[in-house]
Amino acid sequence: MKDLVKKLVESYGPAGDEGPVRQMIEEEIKELADEVRVDALGNLIARKKGNGKGKKVMLAAHMDEIGIIVTSIDDKGFLRFAPVGGWSPPTLLGKRVIFANGTSGVIHTEHLDDIKELKVTKLFIDIGASDKATASENVGIGDMAVFYGPLFDMGERWVAKAMDDRIGCVVLIETLRQLGACDHDVYFVFTVQEEVGLRGARTAAYGVDPEIGIACDVTRVGDTPKSHIMEVSLGGGAAIKVKDSSLICHPALRKHLVEIAKENKIPYQLEVLERGGTDAAAMQLSRAGIIAGVISVPCRYIHSPSEMVDAGDVKACVDLLVQSLKGSMVLQ
């Protein structure tokens, strides 16, 4: 599983340009699924057929990551850019980025009298070009870049860019691998454009029209020094979401997931996330409404180049999904 994580987190796939990640995932799953298709927005939809006795379930993990998009190139070859997804400017300072074609760059700032003046508009990317013409040979307006950096393997804990939400993609792929025969008609959906407004999940949910939707995404933790108040901790197990700022999970589905975790002795924790949203919110409001919930992978330093997850938590999320799908999914 670690090799798959490494491969996916190190690949390029900002919101709206997920192609390389999609191809990689498609390679992994095409032998495991009964049908694989790509919709108009680029969502990768893999179906594992049920036996007609179960429910229609959609699982969603987003392929896209946060990135930047080039807005202008000045005479000296410096690039100005806008964020794609949610960035905080201090996180960008001094970071290395890489474009789809392999061009690398570093982010730095104009001179500031006070660090509080740091805004995205003060930042630029230096790709080592001596002038506009040279820069334009490698990068054009509208090109996107993502953080650059290899996976740090710390043993039980892994650090990389784009854990949000390639680790969710890994959970779905592993679930598909381990699931075997099950009653339910399960759609494994690798969504696009989550970071810019849950947009892929919306069209995918409309197209699939499931009865139950479960997203797998990362969540914040409250276990770092002087952190905000939050009960979720890294290594504490799969987080079963109650609420985030985008949705309240269906209480019966949430309770069902808790029961499955208890029965199978899978470590879990309940999650109330005060800031952040997931694909489940888009699924919930599809058509006349869908039962929606979330299984989260606890993650430190979200939206930085160093997002940290715990291997045990990832395994717990896979176990929880597999055991849920093996059961009846009858909600009380």
Partner 1 sequence: MQVKELLKNLSESAGVAGFEHGLHSSLRAAWEPLVHEMSTDVLGNFVAKRRGVGEEPRPSVMLAAHMDEVGMMVTKIDERGYIRFTQVGGIDPRILPGMEVTVHGRRQLAGIIGTKPPHLLSAGEEDKAPKMEELFIDVGLAQERLVDVVEIGDVITFQRDVTELANDFLAGKSFDDRAGVAVIHSCLQWLEKLCITADVYAVATVQEEIGLKGATVSTYGLEPDIGIAIDVCHGDGPGQPEDLVSELGKGPVITMGPNIAPRVYELLEQAAKDAGIEVQVDVAPAQTGTDAWAMQISRHGVPTGLVSVPLRYMHTSVETLHLDDVEKAGKLLAFFIAAVNRGFVEGLVWS
Footprint (CB under 8 A) of partner 1, residues 40-69: none
Note whether 248 binds partner 1 by CB under 8 A: yes
The one-letter amino acid code at 26 reads: E
Note whether 290 binds partner 1 by CB under 8 A: yes
Host H or E run for residue 307: strand 307-310
At residue 130, what are phi and psi to the nearest 5 degrees? -85, -20
Give the x/- contact pattern for partner 1 in 206-245, rule: CB under 8 A: ----------------x-----xxxx----------xx--
| 174-332-327 Cα angle (round to 5) | 30
Contacts of residue 315, defined as CB under 8 A and 6 or more positions apart, other chains included, come to none
Strand order in the sheet with 185-191: 35-38, 44-48, 185-191, 56-62, 212-219, 291-298, 238-243, 268-272
Q: Residue 127 or residue 281: which is nearer to partner 1 going by CB?
A: 281
Contacts of residue 225, defined as CB under 8 A and 6 or more positions apart, other chains included, come to none
Question: Residue 67 and residue 13: Cα distance in Å, rounded?
Answer: 8
Note whether 270 binds partner 1 by CB under 8 A: yes
Note whether 257 binds partner 1 by CB under 8 A: no
Note whether 276 binds partner 1 by CB under 8 A: no
Return the HEC string of 157-186.
Answer: EEEECCHHHHHHHHHHHHHHHHHCCCCCEE
Binding partner 1 by CB under 8 A: which of 4, 272, 301, 323? 272
Note whether 304 binds partner 1 by CB under 8 A: no
Binding partner 1 by CB under 8 A: which of 25, 291, 302, 317? 291
Catalytic residue among 194, 195, 271, 307: 194
Binding partner 1 by CB under 8 A: which of 95, 184, 254, 303? 254
Q: Residue 170 or residue 282: which is nearer to partner 1 going by CB?
A: 282
Asked if 274 is an active-site residue, the reply is no
State the catalytic residues: 194
Note the residues at the interface with partner 1 (CB under 8 A): 222, 228-231, 242-243, 247-248, 250-251, 254, 269-272, 274, 284-285, 287-291
